[in-house]
Amino acid sequence: MIGSPTDGPTAVVYDIQRLSLNDGPGIRTTVFLKGCPLRCAWCHNPESWERQPRLAYNEALCRNCGECRRVCPNGVFVHRIDWSLCDACGKCVDACPHEALEISGRELTVQELLSELETDRPYYEIGEKGGVTLSGGEPLASFDFVEAFLMQKGNLHVCLETSGFASSEHIRRLSPLVDLFLFDWKISSTAKHQKFCGVDNRLIMTNLRLLCQSGAKVLLRLPLVPGVNDDQEHLSAVATLLKDLPEIQGAQILPYHSMGSAKETRFGLEGRTLKMPDLGLEQAATWMEKLQGLGASNVFF
């Protein structure tokens, strides 16, 4: 359901992943918001770049029955999908008898999201205290919604996964409201960050330092991407960063996986991401050993 203007700010949620164990402490519900100012070449959620909902197509389930073609008002389906014509109206989804189509993204108010999360609360108390993680896309691209959610979260433990590319004033306002920032540090070189992420990293560094100075809890997340940031220059810079900012609680290595490339056909986004083989835990362990050899502590994967 789409909220009315009196319901407060909204965000477009494209996935809610329950029983998540890799997005913060304990058992968590990860909420993925659409919209991102970065264009990372290895992005595993390329469908999250734009805020608007988007049609998704599962070719394996399609039986070429023609129902989508019959109901589509824009002529999207002519032997194959013309993604440029699709406005995600959803009529084809309703008509498809084989569940080969769906709309990725639905607009929610804060109260609607909190209601959806209510049934997950018992899981958060199992073992290490869990909670909710706001991810994306870039959650701070939906700042008004995120701030309102945090103001109304009650005793929910909330992690915020962010690239750090956002207004410093917004970062400052959220600092006391977020229980743990999962802060992505992608590439240390400003020029390479611009090349592979679409923006440079100077604002990101400013906001990371701001969070550390504010007393916020920060865990650094380190995507490991072959041929992009697995060089000695980046490793040395990461080790130096961790020494310079002892307030950072630790650093988690995230080996590259090709999920983003696999999504391109499903969402009609061919060419958005690099095509590379997945990295396993062995490469992550090697990277961790190198960082530890450079003096970095509390690095894990």
Q: Residue 91 and residue 88: Cα distance in Å, rounded?
A: 8
Give me the pLDDT at residue 78, please.
Answer: 66
Look up the pTM and report it.
0.88
Side-chain-side CA neighbours of residue 73 (13 Å): 5
For residue 162, give the 3-state DSSP assignment.
Answer: strand
The kind and range of the H/E element at 26 are none
Q: Residue 138 and residue 166: Cα distance in Å, rounded?
A: 9
Give me the pLDDT at residue 128, please.
Answer: 85
Give me the pLDDT at residue 296, please.
Answer: 86
Query: Which segments in the chain show pLDDT lower than 50?
Result: 1-5
Q: Residue 175 and residue 294: Cα distance in Å, rounded?
A: 30
Under CATH, to which class is 5-53+105-300 assigned?
A: alpha beta
Q: Residue 214 and residue 188: Cα distance in Å, rounded?
A: 22
The residues facing 223 across adjacent strands are: 254
Where, residue-wise, is CATH 3.20.20.70 in the chain? 5-53+105-300
Q: Residue 219 and residue 133: Cα distance in Å, rounded?
A: 13
Which residues 6+ apart lie within 8 Å of 59 measured at CB?
100, 265
Q: Residue 280 and residue 24: Cα distance in Å, rounded?
A: 21
57-103: which CATH topology?
Answer: Alpha-Beta Plaits (3.30.70)
Where, residue-wise, is CATH 3.30.70.20 in the chain? 57-103
Q: Residue 46 and residue 195: Cα distance in Å, rounded?
A: 17
